[in-house]
């Protein structure tokens, strides 16, 4: 039922589901659904963790998710009334790895001429390895200067566009790769649809070469996926807005994007250096401005004179305006004089005559 569900919903991880089912069978064997209780599921987790080559917690969590899906489909089909409680395990697999430019250049020099363009493209775009290796020339538009991913071929099934013309280094990389592919097509007489290939054949994997290159460059624990964190970090440094950066890298939610926005020790040191520059500023650069807390009598006299002059002008300009005279009585004067109460009585809304409400 699970495999049929994967096929109907066109899930991309059908092959992985087959592998998970095989793992579940090694423990539960031919047990009935009613015999798979919560304590047996807990025993399965312990069995996987105590394996000779224990899997990552994320792998075990995925296996439990498949098992939970099995029970859900059985209940939906009316073959099962209840399902057991399936515990979840905590996964802490947040990585913080990224490439500094110097480390990237060292590692790049250790790669072959066929793998090197793949690494360079990933460094600039932050796209996933599967997306890059499946890229075809029909998705590259040199006239418009864009490279695109079709909807349904990405992890989140959304399309994506990267305007490489705005990045001359990336544009030169694609032009070199196009020239190399064209020359190989003429030599072999075949059509090569892929942008990145190995002598005309599609890339499958280059893990051994990658691990060796990282070891020679002095960064043995770097993963290809670290290019994704590196691209996000470079976009943040460049001041690109988060919404635009997410469209370029293909992050669907901001919470996941923030996990990739790694701040390095160099970034922290740069921030503290800017703070230190402020503290090192000489005292002579600080303006010696004194703000008086009390107003002198002379200033009060001048202020009162200017106010009286302005009121006199207002009265002259509007000698017959009763509103101006009323305003002078209602609004208290500033300066040293205490506020005066209003000479007229203001009625609250409940006390107003009825004709004010339209009666």
What average pLDDT does the structure give for the chain?
77
pTM of the model: 0.56
* 166-198 pLDDT tens trace: 899 999 999 999 999 999 999 999 999 999 999
Residue 276 included in any domain: no
Q: For 62-76, 110-124, 140-154, 261-275, which range has the lowest pLDDT when averaged over its residues?
A: 261-275
Number of neighbouring beta carbons within 10 Å of residue 334: 11
User: What CATH number did the domain enclosing 172 receive?
Assistant: 1.10.443.10
Residue 86 included in any domain: no
Same domain, 132 and 231: yes
Kindly list the distances between the CA atom of residue 185 and the CA atoms of 135, 188, 199, 288, in Å, as whole numbers in the listed order.
17, 5, 10, 75
Same domain, 64 and 179: no
Residue 288 included in any domain: no
Radius of gyration over alpha carbons of the chain, in Å? Answer: 36
Please say if the pLDDT value at position 240 is more than 80. yes
Question: For residues 149 and 159, is the Cβ–Cβ distance under 8 A?
Answer: yes
* 118-140 pLDDT tens trace: 999 999 998 988 889 999 999 99
Same domain, 20 and 147: no
Residue 342 included in any domain: no
Rounded to whole angstroms, the Cα distance separating 105 from 99 reads 9
Given 232, 264, 296, the domain boundary residue is 264
Question: For residues 139 and 149, is the Cβ–Cβ distance under 8 A?
Answer: yes
Same domain, 109 and 253: yes
Q: Which residues contact 313 (CB under 8 A, 6 or more apart)?
A: none
Same domain, 131 and 223: yes
Supply the pLDDT for residue 302.
55
Same domain, 10 and 123: no
Given 236, 264, 292, the domain boundary residue is 264
Residue 289 included in any domain: no
Residue 240 included in any domain: yes
Q: Under the phi-then-psi rule, with left for phi > 0, alpha for psi from -120 to 50, and beta for the rest, what region is 244?
A: alpha
Rounded to whole angstroms, the Cα distance separating 233 from 37 reads 46
Total number of domains in the chain: 2
Same domain, 117 and 259: yes
Rounded to whole angstroms, the Cα distance separating 301 from 18 reads 92
Same domain, 124 and 255: yes
Both tokens assigned to 208: 């051994």
* 198-217 pLDDT tens trace: 989 988 889 899 999 999 99
Rounded to whole angstroms, the Cα distance separating 147 from 12 reads 23
DSSP 8-class letter at 294? S
Same domain, 72 and 127: no
Same domain, 58 and 188: no
Given 10, 43, 76, the domain boundary residue is 76
What is the band of 3 on the pLDDT scale with cuts at 50, 70, 90?
confident
Rounded to whole angstroms, the Cα distance separating 306 from 72 reads 83
Residue 54 included in any domain: yes
User: Which residue range forms the structural domain that includes residue 66?
Assistant: 2-76
Same domain, 48 and 114: no
Residue 309 included in any domain: no
């Amino acid at each position: 039922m699970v495999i049929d569900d994967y096929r109907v919903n066109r899930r991309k991880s059908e092959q992985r589901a087959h592998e998970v089912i095989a793992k579940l069978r090694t423990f539960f064997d031919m047990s009935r659904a009613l015999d798979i209780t919560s304590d047996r599921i807990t025993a399965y987790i312990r069995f996987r963790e105590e394996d000779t080559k224990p899997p990552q917690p994320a792998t075990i969590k995925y296996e439990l998710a498949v098992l939970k899906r099995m029970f859900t489909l059985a209940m939906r089909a009316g073959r099962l009334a209840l399902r057991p409680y399936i515990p979840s395990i905590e996964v802490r697999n947040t990585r913080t790895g990224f490439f500094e430019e110097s480390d990237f250049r060292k590692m790049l020099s250790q790669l072959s001429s066929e793998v090197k363009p793949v690494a360079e493209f990933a460094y600039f775009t932050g796209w996933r390895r599967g997306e890059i290796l499946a890229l075809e020339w029909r998705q590259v538009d040199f006239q418009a200067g864009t490279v695109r991913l079709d909807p349904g071929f990405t992890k989140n099934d959304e399309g994506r566009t990267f305007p490489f013309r705005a990045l001359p280094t990336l544009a030169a990389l694609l032009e070199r790769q196009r020239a190399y592919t064209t020359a190989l097509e003429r030599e072999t007489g075949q059509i090569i649809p892929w942008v990145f290939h190995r002598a005309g054949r599609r890339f499958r994997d280059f893990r051994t070469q990658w691990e060796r290159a990282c070891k020679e460059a002095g960064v043995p624990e770097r993963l290809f996926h670290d290019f994704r964190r590196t691209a996000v970090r470079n976009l943040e440094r460049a001041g690109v807005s988060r919404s635009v950066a997410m469209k370029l890298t293909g992050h669907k939610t901001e919470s996941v994007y923030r996990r990739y926005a790694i701040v390095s020790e160099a970034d922290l040191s740069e921030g503290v250096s800017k703070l230190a520059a402020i503290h090192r500023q000489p005292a002579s650069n600080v303006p010696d401005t004194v703000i008086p807390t009390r107003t002198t009598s002379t200033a009060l006299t001048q202020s009162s004179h200017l106010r009286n002059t302005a009121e006199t002008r207002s009265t002259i300009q509007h000698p017959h305006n009763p509103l101006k005279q009323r305003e002078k009585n209602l609004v208290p004067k500033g300066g040293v004089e205490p506020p005066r109460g209003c000479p007229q009585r203001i009625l609250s809304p409940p006390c107003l005559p009825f004709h004010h409400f339209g009666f």
